[in-house]
Structure 1
Amino acid sequence: MMVLVDGAGGEWPAIGHAPWEGCNLADFVMPFFLFIVGMAVPLSLKRIPNRLLAAKRVVLRTAKLIFWGLLLQGGYSHAPDELTYGVDMKQIRWCGILQRIALAYLIVALLEISTKNTQSESRSHTKSSIFRSYLWQWLAGACILIVYLAMLYGMYVPNWEFTVHNSNSKDYGKVLTVACGVRGKLDPPCNAIGHIDRRVLGINHMYHHPAWRRTKACTNVSPHEGSIRADAPSWCQAPFEPEGILSSISSILTTIIGVHFGHVLVHIKGHTQRLRHWVLMGFALLISGIILHFTSAIPLNKQLYSFSYVCVTAGAAALVFSSFYILVDMWGLRNLFLPMEWIGMNAMLVYVMAAEGIFEGFINGWYYDDPHKTLVYWIKKHIFIGLWHSKRVGILLYVLFAQILFWALVAGILHQLGVYWKL
């Protein structure tokens, strides 16, 4: 899904991230990642009875995730469009997708290790007893939610300023001021999420191409990406970190929910009992999040990782997982989903090579006469876009066939050879 979002989201706004409030296809990617990471935690740690050894493995895996996150999203790699590498340490981006996954994984895995009860694993559980056995994890989740909401709605956000680093802007090099002086706002310029990141990370170390630039306040072609309006507010040119500190703390809730679903898989043996628990909880979360959004109590917002967003996306992940469980484990249709299984077995390889464009960047490094005359460009223009006489359709088909299907086949070959990229 991430390959589809990154490759075709620019041409298809419904696929790309919502500019601010709301939820598009791309906005389900991160929560689905975190949910399945959470589900995997009880399965992976139950085979390691030694708590110290388990903790060491968790910390080591966390360090590896952070390393790859900084390398791929910190600014060192400019693949696939720019044939350059290296990062100015004054501008390095500290946060990112893998860093957020690392934080959530570290917290929930250590929580799972510290609250692990070997006696409870040896006996069967009912739905209510699973909640009781892992009560400390739910209490930790409640504390995280309280801290998140208290800071989001209670923190005072003062006026702030930033320097425009976009050389294509008429304001390049200028220092612009954003007027706030408010508390409890969830709008783009004056929320506590951005304020904490500016103070802790430093504004130069945040993401310089936030989705809010596609809002109606910033561009006339919203929700598409376009030039900044002449009358746009100053914050439209400012950085914002979508994987920032406080929003990443909130994202731990999704992983805790995933851990619970993993506990159900471990302790409840019957297909029907598992599904009943998963589906009921999935619908409860989904409906709760929708109510919070449409009553304007807490709007859906991926950038802020709002509580309604936690509920809707975790509920959707639960229902999608339940659907696959029925199709694969109960109906035996596993062969239909083998390409997805292969990708899952080598998820890190596909993420680095396809989603982050490392392989495509390598191919682009071989050009004829001009850096823009590459094999990738030729395939896009003449095989996909030219054939369909539509850039939008051509890009979508290129992503589906030349990226997703291609890497599914590569992952399948590597699976047959027993080659996996593991952290």
Structure 2
Amino acid sequence: MSSLRQQVCQSLLGRKRVLEICTAEKENSQQTTPPQKTRLCSLDTFRGIALLVMIFVNYGGGRYWFFEHAPWNGLYLADLVFPWFIWIMGVSMAFSTRSLLRKSVPRWKIFKNILKRSCILFALGIILNTYGGYNNLQKIRIPGVLQRFGISYFVVSSVHLLFTKPNDIHQKKIWASVRDILPYWLEWLIMFGILLTHILLTFLLEVPGCPKGYLGPGGIHNGGDYFNCTGGAAGYIDRVILGEAHIYQHPTIKVIYLTELPYDPEGILGFLTSIFLVFLGLQAGKILLTYQDWKPRIGRWLIWGTIIGLIAIILSKASINDGWIPINKNLWSISFIFATGAMGFYLLSICYFIIDVKKWWTGAPFFFSGMNSILIYVGHSLTSELFPWTWHVGQTHWEHLAVDLWGVTLWVIISIWLYYKKLFLAV
């Protein structure tokens, strides 16, 4: 563009419009390199949706029963947000790993960063477990949400780092239509091994005084026949390895089934299925990287969602309690991760189509929160009992609902302010 033309443009259209014209011309020029790909807002929006719904239910959800977690088997709204959040972590993982490899960062350095981030997440989780005065080291709870994030991230990222390539080198192969799967067959083998380990431990481990494969809550469940079998193998592994004092002491089932044993919904055995759920999210990310057009992306996501959704339905027999493997967040059962993973594929497809393809929605206000997820999650945990996020109200649902919605809204306002100040916390 000549200097004369620039002057005319500046006088007629203003500086902002000139920059847009110049940028457009630069992108269309054959003598320049292609422009960098824009950030997919749908990913941050998805993450923001999961995060803000999680904060809402953690604040109390207006004290409505349908905003609480399922007592044992079943799937409520509150049961969806954590697995969605962990699934979307897998999607982002595909981008970050390939980006670092394309920058020629040595794999050992990438692994070092993976280990560092995992340790930070685990440590933050332990610290949050001591909030509210629970800082007696002899009774400190070891498992938790961020601990689950840290371990799952470490395993899936490390395995993926071993097999991924910085570039798509299989575009002209005969099997190019499935190149998001076949080159990673060893990765799949390892992950299926982890899933198989979960199945074998769940159904074959000898738990004293309990039948093999018991998946119930114990207590007065089934007439009290298995009173001290809470969680079956999952609860037993936690009590043996971590000790009863270092797992969650007040599970919801204690009130309903009058159980006496502590039980942790973020326990050790559930790490195996959460790892596989992150891996399913990673598969969604591989599809994004491999196929550039929106149609094959959404088509494959919908296929994946349908396949694993059907597996969840078959395993649970489309029943709350009568399936082979009921959908159960307390156990992080296989049917649970397949059901929530299927919803993840569907929800990402919807967000991607509406936000990034059709541009019908910017993703606001969820997008802003998704850009600063760790800061907002930790922040909401630390301020859950503090004004102005919450205050004492009466006993009616609408009063609690108003306060809980205000707490979420305040975090939305904070996330928008942080976004425009370009302040982001990354672990």
TM-score bucket of the superposed structures, by smaller chain: 0.7 to 0.9
**Match of 2:109, as an amino acid?**
L
Whether 1:77 aligns to 2:100 is no
**CA displacement at 1:153 relative to structure 2:** 0.3
Contact 2:62–2:399, Cα closer than 8 Å, also in 1: no
Report the counterpart of residue 267 of structure 1 in structure 2: 290
**CA displacement at 1:213 relative to structure 2:** 2.5
Report the counterpart of residue 44 of structure 2 in structure 1: none
Whether 1:100 aligns to 2:123 is no
Report the counterpart of residue 245 of structure 2 in structure 1: 204
Whether 1:243 aligns to 2:293 is no
Match of 2:116 among 60, 67, 74: 60
**CA displacement at 1:238 relative to structure 2:** 2.2
Tell me, in whole angstroms, the C-alpha distance in 1 between the residues paired with 2:267 and 2:333: 13
Report the counterpart of residue 43 of structure 2 in structure 1: none
**CA displacement at 1:376 relative to structure 2:** 3.7
- State the aligned residue count: 353
Equivalent positions of 1:406-417 (< 5 A) are 406-417=410-421
Which structure has more RCO (C-alpha within 8 Å, separation ≥ 6)?
2
**CA displacement at 1:406 relative to structure 2:** 1.2
Gaps of 5+ in 1: 79-84, 159-179, 219-235, 365-374
Q: Which runs of 4+ in 1 moved over 2 A?
A: 117-127, 359-364
Residues 271 and 182 from structure 1, CA distance in 2 versus in 1: closer, same or farther, beyond 3 angstroms?
Answer: same
Gaps of 5+ in 2: 1-52, 219-228
Tell me, in whole angstroms, the C-alpha distance in 1 between the residues paired with 2:329 and 2:254: 15
Residues 100 and 10 from structure 1, CA distance in 2 versus in 1: closer, same or farther, beyond 3 angstroms?
Answer: farther
Contact 1:197–1:245, Cα closer than 8 Å, also in 2: yes
Contact 1:32–1:313, Cα closer than 8 Å, also in 2: yes
**CA displacement at 1:360 relative to structure 2:** 4.3
**Match of 1:210, as an amino acid?**
P
Partner secondary structure for residue 276 of structure 1 = helix
**Match of 1:131, as an amino acid?**
I
CA RMSD of aligned residues (A): 1.9
Tell me, in whole angstroms, the C-alpha distance in 1 between the residues paired with 2:346 and 2:288: 14
Q: Which moved more, 1:194-203 or 1:115-124?
A: 115-124
Match of 1:395 among 382, 400, 421: 400
Higher Cα Rg, which structure: 2
Contact 1:9–1:17, Cα closer than 8 Å, also in 2: no
Report the counterpart of residue 206 of structure 2 in structure 1: 156
**Match of 2:239, as an amino acid?**
R
**CA displacement at 1:123 relative to structure 2:** 4.1
Whether 1:38 aligns to 2:94 is no
Contact 2:179–2:290, Cα closer than 8 Å, also in 1: no
Whether 1:288 aligns to 2:311 is yes
TM-score if structure 1 supplies the norm length?
A: 0.80
Partner secondary structure for residue 46 of structure 1 = helix
Whether 1:182 aligns to 2:236 is no
Q: Which moved more, 1:89-98 or 1:137-146?
A: 137-146
**CA displacement at 1:333 relative to structure 2:** 2.8
**Match of 1:63, as an amino acid?**
C
Report the counterpart of residue 162 of structure 2 in structure 1: 114
